[in-house]
């Protein structure tokens, strides 16, 4: 059994659940009333629109009639004027064909000025005829064998003595030069028998025939004719009304509307579907009829008179509205327009309007439902709404506005107070969010100041930062205060009260101050807030304490700024330290790690600014730019692992030292052997001159051989096979070693002699030899550079030499190009592998994750023959291609290499053109390098004056333009 109190609560809940929501009641009532009203209005609107559409169709038909009348007037009026002019033309006095041909330009000009005129002619009282027709492409069907270039056709009928009728066709070009003249046989035509001739002779005025089918072509048209002044000639003009059909097609009310111009006999003058009009003409000499059309719709309303109202009828299973409107343009015939309009197309707008109004009504109903709900809430549920919003605060949703507008004053005030509290808490959240996510440190301080000012309820403030070395406060952020940018003489150990006392004497207004100190209690700055509201003379101590406490956010921001700047400076310092260490390690590459980043940065900036197609989509974010900066400075960091004597190897026999000295000593031994042999020969009684000659010859031979070996040691562009063979022959000479070659050796040197038996002394050795101990095996130090190596997670694809080093004397001396063996060249190339591995091992943040790739691809080639990964052009972006160009140009122009001189600009760029042709470097980047002038900027800073020559950029790039074509 429930306690009485609890029973009452349950009863109250039941009664509460049985009540109807005021918001729902208001919204439902307004919505239902509006829906009923909307349905009534929509129904009446549709009926009115239907009547209006029929009335509009009738009015539009009248407008169509007016348009057709105007069109017919436009067809006939200019021709009537032309006939009045021709009535007085000299043609009326001509008696033979030659005289009439002189008037041919006048007839041609009338044809050209009136596009609707098909022909102009003159019929003579004696039966002669003179007709000029403008030829069209379609006329070849009616007049076969038209000469090429024909513009006009002249048909003449003349009487020749003794009483012979001559009918001829004359063809003229557009300059009225006759192209052909030929007789026309079996042509029976007498102009005097034609209706137009008789009517004109009887009238004396311009006459207009009813529409009919022309004699020469099956076109429908009119004839205008007028008798000449002397009464011997009737001049006529044929005008086609075929374009009326196209005009009707343009004037259709709807896509399915059918229109026709007919006479009293329902014969078709024009039809909105011209193709059907032509194809249904069964008698070429007669007009078509409504009954002959493929679609019978218009024939069903052909009986309508001009006075009939709009009727509704069925045709081919579809409802139409039909009407007829008279035309008065041609007084010679009773013409009218017959119109049939599909009912569904005519009323399409009405149905669309009905659908639109229905949608609008539904939308209004939804809007009214929302409005009713809102009004109901405003009137009946302010406290419930306030409860829900306070509940949101309890769930830490401080971004939700709590302020409630209500007729209940207490609820409104409570909502405003809670809203102020929520905004204050939200400001604290924004400060924390700003400290967590802020990247730009100046903006971070500005945002923190803005939030603090907002929390306090003021509008102006500032933050000073403390400069320890200068012992002064410098303005960092200022929001609307007129204060000094610098406050001097602030010692770092000054008490807070003393600082505030000094600030009050230098900062005007009514500010409050908060001294900012870091975790070590060191002075880092001062927060200033101008108090513009309330009683500034009696500031609340609680407010001052509160401002002092929230000022810690500004102190954290400042400390964060210092930490990040120091971290950035430390990282940049380490990078430069590594680069300088690499350059310092080898005096021959000094400055390389500094020059390449600067050149690469110049070129990538030019790419970002370029509008060339290859670079118009290229841009770098702030993080990407810093990533590229790091990669360019660290692009050779792997050289730390490269043996110095390999990187700096200037002669073929050089290791830690130049072994040519050992070779010279052996030659010295053989030289002394020759001297000893000479002395022995003298002791043994050999002739003095013969012994001396043998000694001198041998010693001279040794001098020449050593000279050849020494020159081979220097290295060069190419060493011939004959030279190599001679070196091998020289090396086959032997000398006697009398001392143990295993004494005084290091542990590693002794390890190389394992499994090699010692020789008894004295031992015979070759002058130049490749010994087993010259080979250094990889052991367990095989680098992961081959494609199939499971340790190769970077995608390296390099050829691995069989041995780590081969220090064989003959092997080194017979290097064909340069001074490096294949093993040493691999060791140098391996610095890229070490660069990538070293950088990949660093705990770089995600925004710098691409540093190893950018730093390790500057020896890749566009054709995939580069290293360490064999990438192709499509596998590399603009930054990688830029690094390759920068590294190569710096290497070509550097003057601190032991094995070559620095190239001039022309020489270096010429070599790079060939490298573009060989697809070693990217052509687009190289063209940008030249055309942007980056090479010139670099040269002015880093190259010697003797290297900076005049570069003919057009001639330099011409081969590249030819390749691109």
- CA separation for the pair 885, 65 (Å, rounded): 79
Contact present, 415 and 386 (Cβ < 8 Å): yes
Residue 191's closest CA among 231, 134, 139, 235? 235
Whole-number percent of the chain with pLDDT over 90: 2
The alpha carbon of 363 is separated from its chain's Cα centroid by a whole number of angstroms, namely 41
Section 406-423 average pLDDT: 59
pLDDT at residue 783 is higher than 50: yes
> pLDDT higher for 60 or 133?
133
SS3 772: helix
Per-residue pLDDT band for 17 (boundaries 50, 70, 90) equals very low
Contact present, 418 and 393 (Cβ < 8 Å): yes
The string of DSSP letters for 737-761 reads E-S-TTTT--HHHHHHTTT-PPPPS
- Beta-carbon contacts of 461 under 8 Å, excluding residues fewer than 6 positions away, are 449, 452, 453, 479, 480, 481, 527, 528, 529, 530
- CA separation for the pair 458, 460 (Å, rounded): 6
Residue 903's closest CA among 923, 888, 883? 888
- Beta-carbon contacts of 347 under 8 Å, excluding residues fewer than 6 positions away, are 50, 53
The string of DSSP letters for 6-69 reads HHHHHHHHHHHHHSPPHHHHHHHHHHHHHHHHHHHHHHHHHHHHHHHHHHHHHHHHHHHHHHHH
- pLDDT of 517 reads 81
The CATH classification of domain 586-642+841-964, taken from the options 1.20.1250.20, 1.10.3210.10, 1.10.20.10, 3.40.190.10: 1.10.3210.10
Q: Write out the two tokens for 56.
A: 């509009």
What b/e sequence results for 846-865 when a residue is b if at least 16 CB atoms lie within 10 Å of its CB, and e otherwise? eebebbbbbbbbbbbbbeee
- Beta-carbon contacts of 957 under 8 Å, excluding residues fewer than 6 positions away, are 913, 927, 930, 931
Contact present, 213 and 284 (Cβ < 8 Å): yes
Q: Write out the two tokens for 417.
A: 């107070």
CA dihedral (706, 709, 715, 721) in degrees, to 10, reads: 140
- pLDDT of 18 reads 45
Contact present, 276 and 260 (Cβ < 8 Å): no
878-909: per-residue pLDDT in tens? 888 888 888 888 888 887 666 567 788 888 88
Residue 525's closest CA among 445, 440, 622, 628? 445
Per-residue pLDDT band for 546 (boundaries 50, 70, 90) equals low
- pLDDT of 130 reads 92
- pLDDT of 173 reads 92
The residues of the chain that CATH labels 1.10.3210.10 are 586-642+841-964
Per-residue pLDDT band for 398 (boundaries 50, 70, 90) equals very low
The residues of the chain that CATH labels 3.30.450.20 are 87-240
Section 281-303 average pLDDT: 71
With 0-12 CB in 10 A as exposed, 13-18 as middle and 19+ as buried, what is 779?
exposed
Contact present, 179 and 171 (Cβ < 8 Å): yes
Per-residue pLDDT band for 177 (boundaries 50, 70, 90) equals very high
- CA separation for the pair 304, 309 (Å, rounded): 9
Which residues are registered as beta bridge partners of 525? 465, 516
339-384: per-residue pLDDT in tens? 887 877 766 666 666 667 677 767 776 776 666 666 555 555 555 5
Per-residue pLDDT band for 396 (boundaries 50, 70, 90) equals very low
103-116: per-residue pLDDT in tens? 889 888 888 887 77
SS3 711: helix
- CA separation for the pair 827, 806 (Å, rounded): 12
554-582: per-residue pLDDT in tens? 677 677 767 777 777 777 777 777 767 76
What's 526's DSSP letter? E
762 cis-preceded (ω within 30 degrees of 0): yes
Between strands 734-737 and 268-271, the pairing is unpaired
790-802: per-residue pLDDT in tens? 887 887 888 888 8
Q: Where are the alpha helices (DSSP H) in 438-521?
A: 441-456, 496-506
68-72, 139-143, 222-226, 759-763: least confident range: 139-143
Sign of the CA dihedral running 464, 465, 469, 471: positive
- Beta-carbon contacts of 560 under 8 Å, excluding residues fewer than 6 positions away, are 435, 438, 441, 444
Neighbours of 273 (CB within 10 A): 19
- pLDDT of 659 reads 74
| Average pLDDT value over all residues in the chain | 77
934-944: per-residue pLDDT in tens? 888 888 888 88
SS3 936: helix
pLDDT at residue 403 is higher than 80: no
The string of DSSP letters for 282-350 reads -STTS--BGGGSSS-TGGGGTT--TT---EEEEETTEEEEEEEEEE-S-TTS-EEEEEEEEHHHHTHHH
Which residues are registered as beta bridge partners of 153? 133, 171
822-875: per-residue pLDDT in tens? 887 888 777 777 777 777 777 777 787 888 887 788 888 888 888 788 888 888
- CA separation for the pair 107, 235 (Å, rounded): 11
- CA separation for the pair 84, 25 (Å, rounded): 85
Contact present, 732 and 767 (Cβ < 8 Å): yes
Residue 262's closest CA among 326, 316, 358? 326
Per-residue pLDDT band for 419 (boundaries 50, 70, 90) equals low
Q: How far apart are the first and last CA of the chain?
A: 100
SS3 720: coil
Residue 513's closest CA among 499, 524, 523? 499
> pLDDT higher for 365 or 599?
599
719-742: per-residue pLDDT in tens? 888 898 998 988 889 888 888 888
CATH 3.40.30.10 fits 87-240, yes or no: no
SS3 167: strand
Helix (H) or strand (E) holding 408: none
The residues of the chain that CATH labels 3.30.450.40 are 438-566
Contact present, 645 and 866 (Cβ < 8 Å): no
424-449: per-residue pLDDT in tens? 556 555 555 555 555 555 677 777 77
Contact present, 837 and 794 (Cβ < 8 Å): yes
- Beta-carbon contacts of 215 under 8 Å, excluding residues fewer than 6 positions away, are 189
Which residues are registered as beta bridge partners of 515? 526
- pLDDT of 388 reads 57
- CA separation for the pair 939, 839 (Å, rounded): 31
Residue 347's closest CA among 325, 322, 320, 316? 320
- Beta-carbon contacts of 784 under 8 Å, excluding residues fewer than 6 positions away, are 791, 792, 796
Residue 105's closest CA among 37, 172, 16? 172
What fold does the segment set 438-566 form as a domain?
A: Beta-Lactamase (3.30.450)
SS3 817: coil
Contact present, 254 and 57 (Cβ < 8 Å): no
- Beta-carbon contacts of 581 under 8 Å, excluding residues fewer than 6 positions away, are 640
- CA separation for the pair 826, 799 (Å, rounded): 8
pLDDT at residue 172 is higher than 90: yes
668-707: per-residue pLDDT in tens? 888 888 888 888 888 888 888 888 888 889 889 888 988 8
Contact present, 236 and 225 (Cβ < 8 Å): yes
Per-residue pLDDT band for 280 (boundaries 50, 70, 90) equals very low
Contact present, 130 and 100 (Cβ < 8 Å): yes
545-549, 776-780, 816-820: least confident range: 545-549
Section 383-412 average pLDDT: 55
Whole-number percent of the chain with pLDDT over 70: 74
Q: For tokens 């089918």, what's the residue?
A: 213
Contact present, 277 and 299 (Cβ < 8 Å): no
pLDDT at residue 49 is higher than 80: no
127-131, 163-167, 547-551, 709-713: least confident range: 547-551
- CA separation for the pair 202, 939 (Å, rounded): 102
Sign of the CA dihedral running 316, 319, 324, 325: negative
- Beta-carbon contacts of 56 under 8 Å, excluding residues fewer than 6 positions away, are none
- CA separation for the pair 483, 276 (Å, rounded): 91
Neighbours of 280 (CB within 10 A): 17
């Amino acid at each position: 059994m429930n306690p009485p109190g609890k029973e009452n609560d349950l009863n109250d809940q039941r009664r509460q659940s049985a009540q109807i929501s005021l918001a729902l009641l208001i919204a439902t009532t307004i919505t239902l009333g509006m829906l009923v009203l909307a349905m009534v209005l929509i129904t009446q609107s549709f009926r009115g629109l239907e009547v209006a559409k029929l009335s509009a169709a009738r009015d539009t038909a009248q407008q169509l009639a007016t348009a057709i009348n105007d069109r017919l007037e436009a067809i006939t009026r200019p021709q009537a004027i032309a006939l009045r002019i021709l009535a007085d033309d000299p043609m009326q006095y001509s008696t033979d064909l030659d005289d009439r041909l002189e008037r041919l330009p006048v007839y041609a000009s009338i044809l050209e000025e009136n596009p609707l005129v098909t022909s102009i002619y003159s019929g003579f009282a004696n039966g002669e005829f003179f007709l000029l027709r403008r030829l069209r492409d379609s006329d070849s069907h009616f007049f076969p064998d038209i000469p090429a270039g024909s513009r006009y056709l002249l048909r003449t009928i003349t009487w020749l003595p003794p009483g012979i009728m001559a009918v001829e066709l004359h063809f003229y070009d557009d300059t009225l030069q006759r192209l052909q003249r030929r007789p026309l046989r079996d042509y029976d035509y007498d102009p005097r028998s034609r209706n137009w001739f008789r009517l004109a002779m009887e009238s004396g005025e311009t006459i207009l025939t009813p529409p009919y089918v022309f004699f020469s072509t099956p076109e429908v048209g009119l004839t205008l004719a007028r008798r000449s002044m002397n009464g011997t000639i009737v001049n006529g003009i044929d005008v086609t009304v075929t374009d009326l059909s196209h005009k009707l097609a343009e004037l259709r009310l709807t896509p399915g509307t059918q229109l026709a111009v007919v006479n009293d006999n329902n014969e078709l003058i024009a039809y909105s579907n011209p193709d059907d009009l032509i194809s249904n003409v069964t008698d070429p000499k007669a007009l078509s009829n409504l009954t002959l059309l493929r679609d019978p719709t218009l024939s069903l309303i052909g009986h309508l008179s001009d006075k009939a109202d709009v009727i509704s009828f069925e045709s081919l299973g579809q409802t139409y509205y039909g009407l007829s409107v008279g035309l008065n343009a041609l007084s010679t015939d009773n013409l009218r327009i017959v119109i049939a309009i599909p009912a569904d197309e005519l009323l399409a707008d009405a149905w669309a309007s009905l659908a639109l109004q229905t949608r609008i009504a539904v939308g209004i109903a939804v809007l009214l439902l929302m409005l009713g709900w809102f009004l109901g809430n405003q009137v009946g549920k302010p406290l419930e709404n306030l409860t829900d919003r306070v509940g949101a605060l309890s769930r830490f949703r401080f971004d939700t506005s709590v302020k409630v507008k209500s007729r209940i004053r207490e609820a409104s005030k409570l909502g405003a107070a809670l809203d102020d509290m929520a905004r204050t808490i939200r400001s604290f959240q924004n400060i924390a969010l700003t400290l967590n996510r802020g990247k730009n440190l100046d903006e971070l301080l500005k945002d923190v100041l803005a939030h603090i000012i907002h929390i306090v309820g003021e509008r102006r403030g500032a933050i000073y930062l403390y400069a320890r070395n200068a012992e002064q406060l410098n303005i960092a952020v200022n929001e609307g205060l007129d204060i000094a940018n610098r406050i001097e003489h602030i010692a770092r150990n000054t008490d807070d009260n003393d600082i505030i006392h000094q600030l009050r004497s230098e900062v005007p207004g009514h500010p409050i101050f908060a001294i900012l100190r870091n975790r070590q209690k060191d002075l880092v700055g001062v927060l200033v807030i101008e108090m513009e509201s309330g009683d500034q003379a009696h500031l609340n101590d609680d407010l001052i304490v509160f401002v002092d406490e929230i000022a810690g956010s500004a102190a954290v921001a400042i400390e964060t700024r210092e930490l990040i700047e120091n971290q950035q400076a430390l990282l940049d310092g380490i990078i430069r330290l590594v680069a300088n260490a690499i350059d310092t390690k080898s005096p021959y590459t000094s400055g390389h790690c500094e020059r390449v980043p600067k050149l690469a940065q110049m070129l990538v900036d030019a790419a970002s600014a370029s509008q060339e197609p290859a670079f118009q989509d290229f841009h770098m974010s702030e993080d990407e730019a810093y990533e590229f900066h790091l990669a360019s400075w660290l692009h050779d960091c792997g050289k730390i692992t490269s043996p110095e004597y390999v990187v700096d190897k200037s002669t073929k026999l050089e290791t830690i030292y130049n072994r040519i000295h050992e070779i010279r000593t052996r030659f010295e031994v053989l030289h002394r052997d020759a001297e000893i042999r000479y002395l022995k020969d003298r002791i043994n009684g050999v002739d003095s001159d013969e012994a001396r000659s043998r000694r001198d010859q041998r010693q001279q031979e040794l001098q020449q051989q050593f000279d050849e070996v020494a020159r081979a040691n220097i290295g060069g562009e190419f060493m011939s096979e004959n030279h190599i063979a001679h070196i091998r022959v020289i090396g086959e000479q032997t000398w006697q070693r009398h001392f143990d070659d295993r004494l005084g050796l290091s542990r590693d040197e002794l390890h190389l002699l394992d499994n090699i038996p010692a020789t008894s002394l004295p031992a015979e050795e070759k002058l130049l030899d490749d010994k087993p101990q010259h080979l250094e095996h990889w052991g367990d130090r095989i680098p992961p550079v081959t494609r199939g190596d499971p340790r190769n997670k970077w995608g390296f694809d390099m050829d691995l030499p069989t041995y780590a080093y081969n220090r064989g004397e003959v092997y080194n001396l017979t290097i064909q190009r340069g001074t490096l063996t294949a093993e040493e060249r691999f060791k140098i190339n391996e610095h890229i592998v070490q660069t990538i591995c070293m950088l990949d091992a660093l705990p770089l943040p995600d925004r710098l994750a691409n540093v190893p790739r950018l730093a390790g691809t500057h020896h890749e080639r566009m054709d995939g023959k580069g290293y360490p990964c064999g990438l192709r052009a499509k596998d590399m972006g603009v930054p990688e291609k830029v690094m390759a160009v920068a590294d190569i140009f710096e290497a070509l122009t550097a003057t601190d290499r032991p094995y070559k001189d620095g190239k001039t600009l022309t020489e270096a760029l010429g070599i790079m053109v060939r490298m573009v042709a060989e697809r070693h470097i990217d052509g687009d980047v190289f063209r940008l390098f030249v055309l942007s002038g980056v090479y010139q900027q670099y040269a002015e800073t880093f190259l010697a004056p003797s290297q900076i020559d005049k570069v003919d950029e057009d001639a330099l790039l011409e081969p590249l333009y030819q390749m691109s074509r």
